[in-house]
Structure 1
Amino acid sequence: MNIGELRNVNGRLIGSIATRTIDLPRIGLNPVQNDNPRAPKYEVLALNVARRWVQIGAVWEATMKRSGEQFLAGSIDDPSLPEPLSIALFPAADFDGYMVAWRRDTMRSDFGTGFGASNYDREVQGDRTRSGDRRDRGDSGFGESTAGARGELVGAGGPDDLDDDMPF
């Protein structure tokens, strides 16, 4: 999925990246000057709220296995992100620059079997389960319900049991 583009502006690669939750309206690629063959090709920089350029990632030269086409691959990371964002930069056909794409490395398993297999699901073999499995105990892993038949709160105390010392 394309999430941005970088254009050659006066000899500098400048552009933006935007997703539903990330908006980097001004990013740039700074060439890395290093003789080490394992060094990144570019640092990925972003303009922060104080209007200073800060490094948020790096990209390396890569080659597609099937076609041999060259592209750049790396990641963007920042303390505000829950995890690094893997990106790939492909030469743009329409202009002098790159299209920025991303992909999730593995299928998400935090939503159960509908979105990828979890370790729990891999342990279950058909209708048979291993001894001590949560399904043997009738436990979904979330504990006992606190909702009664009509939706009322049961088994967890009432509103009088709330801790008033909590700030929220």
Structure 2
Amino acid sequence: MNIGQFKNTSGQLVGSIATATIDLPRLGLRPVESNNERAPVFEIVTLNVARRWVQIGALWQLTSNSTGEVFYQGKLDDPSLSEPLQITLFGNNEEGFRVVWNRAQPRRENMDGTRQSRRKAADDGFGNGNATDNGQLAEPQNDEIPAF
């Protein structure tokens, strides 16, 4: 879902992000100068109520495995937010970037910290249903309501 945009204005990337509960009308992308290959490419800054620029996020450069497209991914975080906002920027410096929001998916881990493998859904306790394998209505097995 698109929630904002950034455009090149006088050599600076400025933009805004708005959702139902967040309105950040003046954001900037400040380039990060670092020799560390794991450093972010941009800091996300905003004007606070005292009209000072403060950092509220960062973006890392990534490349799509399937298309080779370069994009930026990161998050906004501030004590005023209930949780960090995961964002992705698509576009380029000349034409601008669109900001896309995505909800982080919880990782499924085993007790030892290894990732869980996908497995068939467990029985939900509601029984086998009332349809046969070919989609016809099955005859009731028992008219009694089970005790819990």
Task: Report what 1:104 is aligned to.
Answer: 103
The aligned residue for residue 18 of structure 1 is 18
Whole-Å separation in 1 of the counterparts to 2:100 and 2:13: 16
Amino acid at match of 2:77: D
Q: Show structure 1 runs of 5+ residues with no match.
A: 108-121, 129-135, 139-168
Runs of 4+ in 1 over 6 A off after TM superposition: none
Q: Shift in Å at residue 68 of structure 1?
A: 1.2
- Secondary structure (helix, strand or coil) at the match of 2:89 reads strand
3-state secondary structure, aligned to 2:49: coil
| Higher share of residues assigned helix | 1
How far apart are the structure 1 equivalents of 2:39 and 2:83? 22
TM-score w.r.t. the length of structure 1 is 0.63
Gaps of 5+ in 2: 107-120, 128-145
Decide whether the 8 Å contact of 1:76 with 1:85 is kept in 2: yes
Paired AA for residue 79 in structure 1:
P
* Map 1:68-83 → 2, pairs under 5 A: 68-83=68-83
Relative distance call for 1:124 and 1:82 in structure 2 (3 A) is farther
Cα deviation, 1:87-124, whole Å, max 9, x if unaligned, reads 0011169x6221111111238xxxxxxxxxxxxxx775
Structure 1 match to 2:84: 84
Other structure's SS at 2:79 match: coil
- Structure scoring higher RCO (CA < 8 A, sep ≥ 6) equals 2
Measure the CA separation in 1 of the matches of 2:54 and 2:147.
Answer: 52
Query: Alpha carbons of 1:54 and 1:127: their partners in 2 closer, same or farther (altered >3 Å)?
Result: same
Tell me by how many angstroms 1:47 deviates. Answer: 0.7
Provide TM-score, normalisation by structure 2.
Answer: 0.71
Q: Percent identity?
A: 53
Query: Residues of 1 paired with 2:76 and 2:17: CA distance?
Result: 10
Deviations 1:26-76 (A, max 9, x none): 000000010000000000001111111000000000111211100000000
